[in-house]
Amino acid sequence: MKTSTVAEREARGRAAREHSKRSSHQTVGELQRDPIALLRQSSEDRVQNLVPLRYGRMAASPFSFFRGTAILQAHDLSQVQDSGLTMPICGDGHLMNFGGFATPERQLVFDLNDFDEAAIGPFEWDLKRLSASLVVAARHLRLSSGTADSLVMTAVNEYRDRMAQYAQCGALELWYDRITFDRMAETALTPERRRTVRRGMEKAASRTHESLLEKMAEHDGERWRIRDVPPALFHILGPNTLFTPEETEAFRSGNWRSMFERMWGEYLGTMSPDRQALLGHFTAQDLVFKVVGVGSVGTRCLVMLSVDHMGKPLFLQIKEARRSVIAQFYEAPVLAHEGERVVRGQRLLQAASDIFLGWASGPFKRHFYFRQLRDMKLAANIELFDSDLLDGYARLCGWIMARAHAKASGRAIEVSAYIGRGELFAEALTGYAKRYADQVERDYDVFLKACRSGELEARTDADMAADFSSL
């Protein structure tokens, strides 16, 4: 099979402009849809007592609402012309889905960290999700319209410049490229940004499995048991469960331990022999349900605590994998197992992935994937950022997204040629982000009215916690 030359690939990238002009990306499109109907669709088959908590977390602000409504933007993106340059994408690349964590070599890196919606799609869908999130967040922080525009220009132009660099790289160079905390500090433009990176490194180093054990569990003389902290953390068959009797019936009437053993065996089958041997050193202690995030609230997520022969802990998260919102609105090849889709997407897009990534099918043939719950993980607290730090963060997100796309697709040459060297593409996405942030605010108002009228039930964490404190 003939290999295309660099010139031929650049020509294909430029030819994509005829299919979708760069200036056309400012268009949001005519959005004739009911946001409440799409929200209800995304809440189907979740733990029903947790759906009000999902809505309660989303009601906190337009930014929280945006985080929980990936389905709305995926639907809306499908209504306008795309570039035709498809690749593995994160699918939910808003600014809170980037974070720090340790590689298997114990090196701190910053990267994309949420792949529940990973799928094959147009590269710009990720950039539009990121760009819109920057404007929604800027408005949430009461920053000026000019600052919001500048954030998008910064992120997209950084993506452009990094993609142009990656277009000059070989395949192995792309595979090995990592954005470490040390590298971030070296490229930080101000002393305050460098100090923020260093503080982040110190905080991440303290977030280990052992520190988590002290906070989450207690030893009853025979084994470790995770403490219930409802509604966020509870035993499915315990007194604090938020499962309905119908939802727990399969666990009560059947042998749930045998069911889990089958699931564990399937998970081990997705691991390499050395990982299987490593996991063989651990003995399971406890299993609880954990409520996570905003958009994921109500999906099934378990935490398993195991210890080795020295009593050292390992926390594994076992999270339900549902159909990607991208796949719901963009036709592309799909995998039969949604957990495998998430794991493959993560391994392709991240520079270095969790050594315990794997997948299995659970009760009622639901799909799950496994990963470490916390291993020197760190998320940015956007609420504490000023405009300068947010600008640095936007630049970092653009860099990370370019690296992820270049590595996962091998199409940096085509994408770079499509974007070009000027600011036309960034200006178009800035226009899109402003218009889409306006749409988010309109949808948020509709959502709040539905909550206030009782059409949707919304409850906060404090509301639900009070139910248990009064018992």
Structure tokens at 81: 């012309």
- Cα–Cα distances in Å, from 313 out to 192, 223, 226, 372? 36, 12, 12, 11
Q: Residue with structure tokens 């277009």?
A: 167
Does residue 65 sit in helix, strand or coil? helix
Q: Which residues of 375-396 are buried (b: 16+ CB within 10 A; e: fewer)?
A: bbebebebeebeeebbbbbbbb
Query: Under a CB-based contact definition with an 8 Å cutoff, are residues 282 and 266 in contact?
Result: no
Query: Under a CB-based contact definition with an 8 Å cutoff, are residues 30 and 79 in contact?
Result: yes
- Candidates 278, 275, 296; CA nearest to 358 is 275
C-alpha triplet 301, 270, 366: angle, nearest 5°: 35
In the chain, the percentage of residues whose pLDDT exceeds 90 is 73
Distance CA 378, CA 210 (A): 16
pLDDT tens-digit profile of 207-243? 677 778 888 999 998 999 999 999 999 998 889 989 8
pLDDT of residue 251: 67
CB-based contacts of 345, cutoff 8 Å, min separation 6: 88, 90, 91, 115, 118, 119
pLDDT tens-digit profile of 35-58? 999 999 999 999 999 999 999 999
In the chain, the percentage of residues whose pLDDT exceeds 70 is 95
- Candidates 247, 321, 259, 311; CA nearest to 287 is 259
* pLDDT tops 70 at residue 202: no
pLDDT bin (cut points 50, 70, 90) of residue 187 is confident
Distance CA 429, CA 412 (A): 19
β-sheet bridge partners, residue 306 = 284, 314
